[in-house]
Amino acid sequence: MTAKLLLRYSPEALDRPILARVIRQTDAEINILHATLDAVKGEILIGVEAPPAEIEKLIHLLKKNGIDAKKLERAVELDEDSCLDCGACLSLCPTGALHAKKDYSVGLDEDKCILCEVCIPACPVRAIKITKF
Amino acid sequence: MVTKTYEEINKRIRDGDAVVVTAEEFVDIVRKRGAEKAAKEVDVVTTGTFGAMCSSGAFLNFGHADPPIKLGGGEIYLNDVPAYAGLAAVDTYIGATAISTTKGIEYGGGHVIEDLVRGKEIALKGTGYGTDCYPRREIETTLTIKDLNQAILVSPRNVYQRYVAATNSKNETIYTYMGTLLPDYGNVNFSGAGVLSPLHKDSNYETIGIGTRIFIGGAQGYIIGPGTQHAPTKAMGTAMVLGDLKKMDPKYVRGCTIHRYGTSLYLGIGIPIPLINDRVTKTAALGEDQIKTNLVDYGVARRDRPILREVTYEELRSGAIEINGKEVPTSPLSSFKVAREIAAKLKKLIEKGEFLLNRPAELLPRGTVFKPLKQVTEVPITKEIMTKPVITGLPYEPISRAAKIFAERNFDHLPIADKNGKLLGIVTSWDVAIATGTKKKKLSEIMTKKVIVANEDEPVDVVARRLLQHGISGLPVTNTKGEVVGIVTTEDISKLVGRRKK
């Protein structure tokens, strides 16, 4: 299972290689999906492929190093009944999470989604939704 | 030469002997077995398309209230979407792009039409000016499609033969009727059903015209004439169509919102092409590798947008095309999956003898030209109104130079250019003000490097929209080489208002 973690860096944490150190202490495989850094804060969205216990350990280690790490309980959802299979979203999706299937219907690979939300307003029938729970 | 008559084909349909294939299947048959054999074996080729068609709408008749009201000449709203009130007392036309007075482009005429087809309740609000025979002034009620006497889809322009493919050279995202276009050729959007495109499969219009029976929104309807903007010489033919909304299936009639553009209606249409002669066989056999369109730069907001190159539907459908050596992802805006479904559905209907072909009373014209709008006043071009020559600063000059210019000349903007006049940045009086008391010395330290510019040949309307969108009061004007040739401010533009009205 892939979990998505949002890591918020404070200015003091910005210049230390925390993520690299933490990764070496766990067996989790991580993938950086999205990152923004500026003078006052930093945010990194990572995808983690690991069993739940390992993910908890990762969160714990990050927090110990002063990073506000939070598991994202959001999911992107494609309402297949409403979807026109038009494809308007396809070329906007930066990761290929939204893709054309063999029969030209639109498919969504949730694991690849980085929750950038570009597709949400571009869908002509509002068939893509971000659910927060 | 293989020829067939409508009578022969319809007899075979009635007898259950007709050989019907979809346009996609027909391309394969011709490539494997040759055109002549295919023409002998196949009677009808079915097509289909499912895309946003803005020039769609429906005539509705409400029946009379008691006491009666004359809505014609008054106002009509369906779920808060304005409908046309220029017909008789209780007739209206609801167009797909009309937008809600309460929800804006989230809900429009296209959605009203879908909700009618779904059998949902629609709120009618109307006013009339009151006459001796129609004394009532206001009406508020709810209706479903069953309560209407007629609900007839009549679209002045549907089933465009093909569509251009759109991309964007600008350095910012633009929102168009061709969808969201990412900056710097970030994506390509295209429309049209390609190999299944109804009008492309008989591009000489030998079987398509007034009276052609078609599949429309899940029901049977007709072509009632050439569509508006019909441009046969550019392979951009269109058709005017009619169908009974009461018999339609909401699967093929869907209201939609094109982000930051407006509302429209996704409509499913399929046209059967009887193979009456070799020319029709030939066009019906065109594959996606043979159907081409132009890749157009929508970053240029003019009527005649630059064409980057010709592309085939095969390239577009592959998911990515090449622009300037870069792989660029493509999006269809019309559903190929549903287009296929429509072609297959139409095929079934004909095979079962439930859909007969009509010989058109008159074919779609082949020579008409789509003219641009006649304009009695020319739109001014930026270079005609900009301030020139323009004073520019060099990046290594001191900030005090800008302060001096602003004070002496009453300017607020100083473009920074290199020795050859090439634009590097811009400094405003605000930048100078906030630099006071800091250690910054040179103009290059305080200039904004990502400058929003106007090109000298752009129409003023386009530049005015850019100023408004970015909330800025002026921008440097460059020529095609990127050299600063002037500056245009909101002041220059406001001066025009008086001039234009004369």
Residue that is last in its domain, among A29, A48, A71: A71
Say if residue A39 is in the same domain as residue A82.
Answer: no
DSSP string, B312-363: EHHHHHTTEEEETTEEEEEEESS-HHHHHHHHHHHHHHHHTT-------SEE
On the question of pLDDT at A130 being above 90, the answer is no
| A91 Cα to chain B: minimum distance (Å) | 5
Distance separating alpha carbons of residues A67 and A9, to the nearest angstrom = 5
The pLDDT value recorded for residue A132 is 61
Say if residue A86 is in the same domain as residue A111.
Answer: yes
Residue that is last in its domain, among A25, A41, A71: A71
Distance separating alpha carbons of residues B226 and B152, to the nearest angstrom = 18
On the question of pLDDT at B502 being above 50, the answer is no
Of B62, B60, B54, nearest to B262 (Cα)?
B54
- Cβ contacts of A125 on chain B, cutoff 8 Å: 254-257, 266
Strand pairing category for B307-312 and B292-297: antiparallel
pLDDT in tens, B290-305: 999 999 999 988 888 9
The pLDDT value recorded for residue A1 is 57
Task: Give domain limits for chain B.
Answer: 6-53+154-363, 63-148, 382-501
Question: Which of A90, A118, A124 lies nearest to residue B258, judging by beta carbons?
Answer: A124
Q: What's the complex ipTM?
A: 0.82
Catalytic annotation, residues of B:
133
CB contact under 8 A, B335 and A85: yes
CB contact under 8 A, A90 and B257: no
CB contact under 8 A, A90 and B319: yes
- Cβ contacts of B333 on chain A, cutoff 8 Å: 86-88
Say if residue A43 is in the same domain as residue A7.
Answer: yes
Q: Is B340 on the interface with A (CB under 8 A)?
A: yes
CB contact under 8 A, B335 and A84: yes
On average, the pLDDT of chain B sits at: 94
Say if residue A10 is in the same domain as residue A66.
Answer: yes
Residue range(s) defining the domain that contains residue A112: 74-132
Can you say how many angstroms the Cα of residue B434 is from the centroid of all Cα atoms in its chain? 46
Phi, psi of A122 (to 5 degrees): -75, -15
pLDDT in tens, B175-222: 999 999 999 999 999 999 999 999 999 999 999 999 999 999 999 999
Q: Enumerate residues 6+ apart whose C-beta is below 8 A from B130.
A: B70, B136, B137
Say if residue A94 is in the same domain as residue A112.
Answer: yes
**B500 pLDDT tier (thresholds 50, 70, 90):** low
**B53 pLDDT tier (thresholds 50, 70, 90):** very high
pLDDT in tens, B307-356: 999 999 999 999 999 999 999 999 999 999 999 999 999 999 999 999 99
**B50 pLDDT tier (thresholds 50, 70, 90):** very high
CB contact under 8 A, B331 and A90: yes
pLDDT in tens, B237-255: 999 999 999 999 999 999 9
Distance separating alpha carbons of residues A64 and B160, to the nearest angstrom = 61
B130, two tokens:
């009151």
Say if residue A112 is in the same domain as residue A93.
Answer: yes
- Cβ contacts of B255 on chain A, cutoff 8 Å: 125
Phi, psi of B16 (to 5 degrees): 75, 20
Residue that is last in its domain, among A44, A71, A98: A71
Q: Is B257 on the interface with A (CB under 8 A)?
A: yes
Write down the architecture of domain B382-501 according to CATH: Roll (3.10)
Say if residue A25 is in the same domain as residue A57.
Answer: yes
B 22-51 near A (Cβ less than 8 A): 50-51
Distance separating alpha carbons of residues B176 and B184, to the nearest angstrom = 15
Distance separating alpha carbons of residues B332 and B316, to the nearest angstrom = 8
CB contact under 8 A, A86 and B264: no
Question: Which of A91, A100, A103 lies nearest to residue B189, judging by beta carbons?
Answer: A91
The answer to whether B494 touches B480, Cβ cutoff 8 Å, is: no
DSSP A123: -
Longest dimension (CA), chain B: 93
Say if residue A11 is in the same domain as residue A63.
Answer: yes
**A97 pLDDT tier (thresholds 50, 70, 90):** very high
**B146 pLDDT tier (thresholds 50, 70, 90):** very high
Say if residue A105 is in the same domain as residue A128.
Answer: yes
| A125 Cα to chain B: minimum distance (Å) | 5
B 276-335 near A (Cβ less than 8 A): 319, 328-335
Establish, for the pair of chains A and B, how many residue pairs have beta carbons separated by less than 8 Å.
73
The pLDDT value recorded for residue B372 is 84
Say if residue A63 is in the same domain as residue A99.
Answer: no
On the question of pLDDT at B499 being above 70, the answer is no
Domain count for chain A:
2
Q: Enumerate residues 6+ apart whose C-beta is below 8 A from B437.
A: none
Q: Note the helical H segments in A11-118.
A: 18-24, 52-64
B 396-455 near A (Cβ less than 8 A): none
Say if residue A114 is in the same domain as residue A61.
Answer: no
Question: Terminus-to-terminus CA distance in chain A, angstroms?
Answer: 18
Distance separating alpha carbons of residues B62 and B52, to the nearest angstrom = 27
Determine the residue of chain B that is closest to A118 in CA distance.
B180
With DSSP H G I counted as helix, E B as strand and the rest as coil, what are the percentages for chain B, rounded to 5? Answer: 25, 35, 40
Question: For testing the chain B interface, which of A80, A91, A92, A120 should be mutated: the one with the most B CBs within 10 Å?
Answer: A91
On the question of pLDDT at A31 being above 50, the answer is yes
| B263 Cα to chain A: minimum distance (Å) | 9
The answer to whether B144 touches B121, Cβ cutoff 8 Å, is: yes
CB contact under 8 A, A87 and B332: yes
Say if residue A79 is in the same domain as residue A121.
Answer: yes
- Cβ contacts of A118 on chain B, cutoff 8 Å: 180
HEC profile of B258-320: ECCCEEEEEEEEECEEECCCHHHHHHHCCCCCCCEEEEEECCCCCCCCCEEEEEEHHHHHCCE
The pLDDT value recorded for residue B498 is 64
Burial state string for B478-500 with b = 16 or more CB within 10 A and e = fewer than 16: beeeebbbbbbbeebbeeeeeee
Interface of A to B at Cβ within 8 Å reads 84-92, 100, 103-105, 118, 121-122, 124-126
The pLDDT value recorded for residue B70 is 98
pLDDT in tens, B384-412: 889 888 889 999 999 989 988 888 888 88
On the question of pLDDT at B489 being above 90, the answer is no
What is each CA distance from B398 to A41, B449, B468, in whole angstroms?
33, 17, 31
